[in-house]
Structure 1
Amino acid sequence: MSAPVLAAPRETFPAAPPGLTITAVGAGLWRVALPGGPVLGHIERRTHGDVERYAARRLVGGGVRAMALGEFWSAADAAECFR
C-alpha cells in the first residue's frame, strides 16, 4: 500500500490590499473578490528557478473565462490590477 498524497497547504496572501478580499483556493493560488461581492479573478504565484512572479487573471463573460492581466514582481502589484 502506498502512502497517502497530502495536498499542499493553502497560504495567506502576502499582501493586504484595501477594498479587496483575497482567499486562498490552492497552493500558490488566490481568489480576488470585492468584500461581500462578486469574484473578480485570481492571482497565481509562479516560480521560475529561484524567481517568484505573480500572475493576475480577471474573470470575464460571467466568470466563464479569464483574461490575463500580466505577471508582476510583487503580490501587491498583482492585486492592484483589480482595484
Structure 2
Amino acid sequence: MARLDYAGTSTRDRFGVRCMQLHSELWRVTRPDGEVLGYVEQFSDPRGIRFRAKRLVARAQHFLVVGEFWAFDEAVDALR
C-alpha cells in the first residue's frame, strides 16, 4: 500500500466529518461544527501502511486507541 503524501496543511471532507492533515502522518477528525472526534495516525507495519484511530481522553490526559486499519477511510469511520 502507498503512503498518503503530505502536501502542506490540507483538509478532506468525508460523510459529515472533516479530516485536517496536521503533518505527514497525522490527521485531526472533526464534526462540521469543529468538535474534535479524534485523530488518525499513519504508521509502518511489516506488512504495509496502517492507520490508527484514536481519541483523546481529556480527564486522563491520554489517547485511547479505537482500532488499527489498512485503509484511511476505515479509521475515520471508526471515529464517527
Shorter-chain TM band: 0.7 to 0.9
State the alpha-carbon separation in 2 of the partners of residues 63 and 12 from structure 1: 30
State the percentage of identical aligned residues: 29
Answer 1 or 2: which has greater strand percent: 2
State the alpha-carbon separation in 1 of the partners of residues 32 and 59 from structure 2: 18
Structure 2 residue ranges without an equivalent (≥5): 1-5
Segments of 4+ moved more than 6 angstroms: none
For 1:25-79, what per-residue CA distance to the aligned partner results, in whole angstroms no more than 9, with x for missing partners? 1111100111122111110111124601000001223693321011101001101
State the alpha-carbon separation in 2 of the partners of residues 24 and 30 from structure 1: 4
Partner of 2:63: 66
Structure 1 residue ranges without an equivalent (≥5): 1-7
Give the alignment's Cα RMSD to 1 decimal: 2.6
TM-score of the pair, normalised by structure 2: 0.75
State the alpha-carbon separation in 2 of the partners of residues 33 and 63 from structure 1: 21
Higher Cα Rg, which structure: 1
TM-score of the pair, normalised by structure 1: 0.73
